[in-house]
Amino acid sequence: MTLTDLLSLRVQATPDATAFIEGARHTTCREFDRLVRLSAGWLAAQGVRPGDRVGIWMENRIEWLAIFFGLARLGACTVAVNTRFRSEELVYLLSRAKASLLITQSASASIDFTATLADVNLALIPTLQQVALVGEQPPHASSLQGRPVLRFDAFTSATPMAEDHARDEALAILFTTSGTTNGPKLVMHPQRTLAAHAACVARQHGLDQAGARLLAALPLCGVYGMSSLLGAFQGQAPIVLMPGPDAAQACDLVPRHAITHLYGSDELYRRMLDLSTAERPFPSARLFGFAAFRADAAQVAREAWARGLPLTGLYGSSEVHALFAIQSQGLPLEERIRGGGAPAAGDAVHIRIRDPESGAILGPGRLGALEIRSPHRFIGYLDDPAATAEAIDDDGFFRTGDLGSLRPDGSFIYETRSGDAMRLGGYLVNPFDIETLLRSIEGVADAQVVPITLGGQARCAAFVIAGASATLSAGSLIEIARQRMARFKVPSRIWFVEAFPTAASANGNKVQRARLRSMAAERLAAEQSTQPLH
| Cα distance between residue 198 and residue 235, in whole Å | 8
- Domain made up of 186-417: CATH architecture: 3-Layer(aba) Sandwich (3.40)
What per-residue confidence (pLDDT) applies to 315? 96
With beta carbons less than 8 A apart as the criterion, state whether 312 and 326 touch.
yes
What per-residue confidence (pLDDT) applies to 532? 63
What per-residue confidence (pLDDT) applies to 222? 92
**CATH tag for 3-13+29-167 (out of 3.40.718.10, 3.40.30.10, 3.20.20.140, 3.40.50.980):** 3.40.50.980
| Cα distance between residue 111 and residue 106, in whole Å | 9
The SS3 assignment for 172 reads: strand
pLDDT exceeds cutoff 50 at 533: yes
CB 305: neighbour CB atoms within 10 A?
A: 17
| Cα distance between residue 93 and residue 197, in whole Å | 25
Q: pLDDT averaged over the chain?
A: 90
With beta carbons less than 8 A apart as the criterion, state whether 120 and 89 touch.
no
What per-residue confidence (pLDDT) applies to 512? 81
pLDDT exceeds cutoff 90 at 490: yes
| Cα distance between residue 215 and residue 288, in whole Å | 10
pLDDT exceeds cutoff 80 at 162: yes
| Cα distance between residue 420 and residue 229, in whole Å | 30
pLDDT exceeds cutoff 90 at 215: yes
Please count the residues of the chain.
534
What per-residue confidence (pLDDT) applies to 507? 34
Indicate the range of 36-40, 205-209, 311-315, 457-461 predicted with least confidence: 457-461
**DSSP bridge pairs for 149:** 131
Of 387-396, 509-518, 522-531, the range with the highest mean pLDDT is 387-396
With beta carbons less than 8 A apart as the criterion, state whether 188 and 174 touch.
yes
Scored b (16 or more CB within 10 A) or e, 150-174 reads: bebbbbeebeebeebbbbbebbbbb
Q: Report phi then psi at 460, rounded to 5.
A: -135, 155
What per-residue confidence (pLDDT) applies to 435? 85
- What is the rounded average pLDDT of the residues 228-234? 98
| Cα distance between residue 470 and residue 445, in whole Å | 9
- What is the rounded average pLDDT of the residues 81-93? 90
CATH topology of domain 430-530: GMP Synthetase; Chain A, domain 3 (3.30.300)
- Residue range 333-345, pLDDT digits in tens: 999 999 999 999 9
**DSSP bridge pairs for 340:** 413
Separation of CA 505 from chain center: 36
pLDDT exceeds cutoff 60 at 209: yes
What per-residue confidence (pLDDT) applies to 103? 96
With beta carbons less than 8 A apart as the criterion, state whether 60 and 219 touch.
yes
Domain extent listing, the chain: 3-13+29-167, 186-417, 430-530
- Residue range 395-423, pLDDT digits in tens: 999 999 988 899 999 999 998 766 566 77
Nearest to 305 by CA among 290, 293, 325: 290
The residues, any chain, with a CB within 8 Å of residue 391's CB and separated by 6 or more, are 179, 180, 181, 319, 381, 398, 399
What per-residue confidence (pLDDT) applies to 420? 63
With beta carbons less than 8 A apart as the criterion, state whether 465 and 498 touch.
yes
What per-residue confidence (pLDDT) applies to 291? 87
| Cα distance between residue 432 and residue 451, in whole Å | 12
CA dist 138 → 65, 68, 115, 164, 301 (Å): 21, 22, 13, 30, 46
- Residue range 502-515, pLDDT digits in tens: 864 433 456 787 88
Indicate the range of 127-141, 143-157, 478-492 predicted with least confidence: 127-141
What per-residue confidence (pLDDT) applies to 477? 93
Specify the pairing of strand 340-343 against strand 311-317. unpaired
| Topology alike, domains 3-13+29-167 and 186-417 | yes
Separation of CA 39 from chain center: 24
Of 126-135, 190-199, 292-301, the range with the highest mean pLDDT is 190-199
